[in-house]
Amino acid sequence: MGSRREFIEKLTVSAVSLPILCGPTSLFAACEQPYNSPILRVAIMGLGGYGTRVAKAMLDCKRAKLVGVISGTPSKITKWQSEYNIPEKNCYNYENFDRLKDNPDIDAVYIITPNGLHCEQAIRVAKAGKHVICEKPMAINAEEGERMVKACREANVKLLVGYRMHFEPKTVEVIRMRKAGEFGQPKFFQGQSGFVIGNPNQWRLNKKLSGGGAMMDIGIYSINGARYMLGEEPIWVTAQETKTDPVKFKEGIDETIQFQMGFPSGAVASCLSTYAMRHLDRFFMTGDEGWMEMKPSSGYGPIKGRTHKGELEQPHITHQTLQMDGMSRIIFEGLEPIAPIDGEEGLKDLKIIDAIFLAAKTGKKVKL
């Protein structure tokens, strides 16, 4: 999906930039040297492309460490054992990972499998007494999301969702500016999220595994972005679906959806989610006293942006490195990021996605 999936930047923070990012409540990885507090010991479930990206990013973490793997492919487990020095006792497959409950050397499991598998896997991890980190979307619908939240609450474990943008420095700065009133009253948000998807046989185009098409994969960035940029929860949605290739995009797999959201203050959002158009990775927001634009807005980086006050100059740091170090602080210290990443946050996005699909199907405004 273009630059969003094609490369990863290494940690690059200059000494001059550190005071901007660091402080007693900072979630940024580069701030504390040396680090002598608890390390979040993580097992990754699902050793595909994104799992590999997270594993490589964790090599730069100070507060989190990859210590285990869960996969249905023995050859991948062997390869990861060698590459990341993972002991045999921390390796599991999809049939036996319930045995995690007897392994004190793993604190959390990061689920990076197809969307349709998240719910049951998360519930099993929670029942094993481990914290659950789940890639977004958290599940394929709100009903599944509610089951996950309930299971983690009952097991007294954390449920965190892989909202890496909530740790990204330029994004954090824009949210800070909005909270400080520097844009005035936000009035309008525009989110454009899309790329041209390739292999027609991949799991993302399989309704059972993905739960939908572009909306579940890329459109969720505009949904979540509208919420954290405007600082409100939508109260209605409308949506229109376009499908030009019904062979590739079968029933239940959305190709392109335009959707709109209304907020209690009167602010509105207009967004586009697509698997059929290139060069769509842009957020724009305007208030009655200022504006911001980010392009790219949600790719792996570097993110670029500007506001009515000028260019955003915060340094690029590998998103997943910040995310995993930040999650460690959330679990061990109770620290909260500038925008939530818990199961309730994931559930809010799922409820909106459910409403968007209903609005696109019926042509009616759906209240939330």
Q: pLDDT value at position 110?
A: 99
Q: Is 300 annotated in the active site?
A: no
Q: Where are the domains of the chain?
A: 7-164, 165-315+343-367
Burial of 284 (0-12, 13-18, 19+ CB in 10 A): middle
Q: Sign of torsion, CA 130 153 121 224?
A: negative
According to DSSP, the β-strands at 40-45 and 186-196 are unpaired
Q: For 348-362, how does the pLDDT look when each residue is reduced to its tens digit (9 = 90+)? A: 999 999 999 999 999
366 CB-side CA count, 13 A: 20
Candidate list 221, 228, 275, 300, residue with the active-site label: 221
Give pTM, 2 decimals.
0.91
Task: Tell me if the domain spanning 7-164 has CATH number 3.40.50.720.
Answer: yes
Summarize the confidence of residues 184-202 as an average pLDDT.
97
Candidate list 62, 110, 130, 136, residue with the active-site label: 136
DSSP assignment of 129-184: T-EEEEPSSSSSSHHHHHHHHHHHHHHT--EEE--GGGG-HHHHHHHHHHHTTTT-
Which helix (H) or strand (E) is 223 found in, with range? Answer: helix 220-230
- The length of the chain, given as a count of residues: 368
Q: For 288-333, how does the pLDDT look when each residue is reduced to its tens digit (9 = 90+)? A: 999 999 999 999 989 999 999 999 999 999 999 999 999 999 999 9
> What percentage of the chain has pLDDT greater than the value 70?
90
Q: Is the pLDDT of residue 29 over 90?
A: no
CATH architecture of the region 165-315+343-367: 2-Layer Sandwich (3.30)
Summarize the confidence of residues 199-205 as an average pLDDT.
97
Q: Is 136 annotated in the active site?
A: yes
Distance CA 18, CA 61 (A): 16
Which of 36, 32, 52, 34 is closest to 44 using CA atoms?
Answer: 52
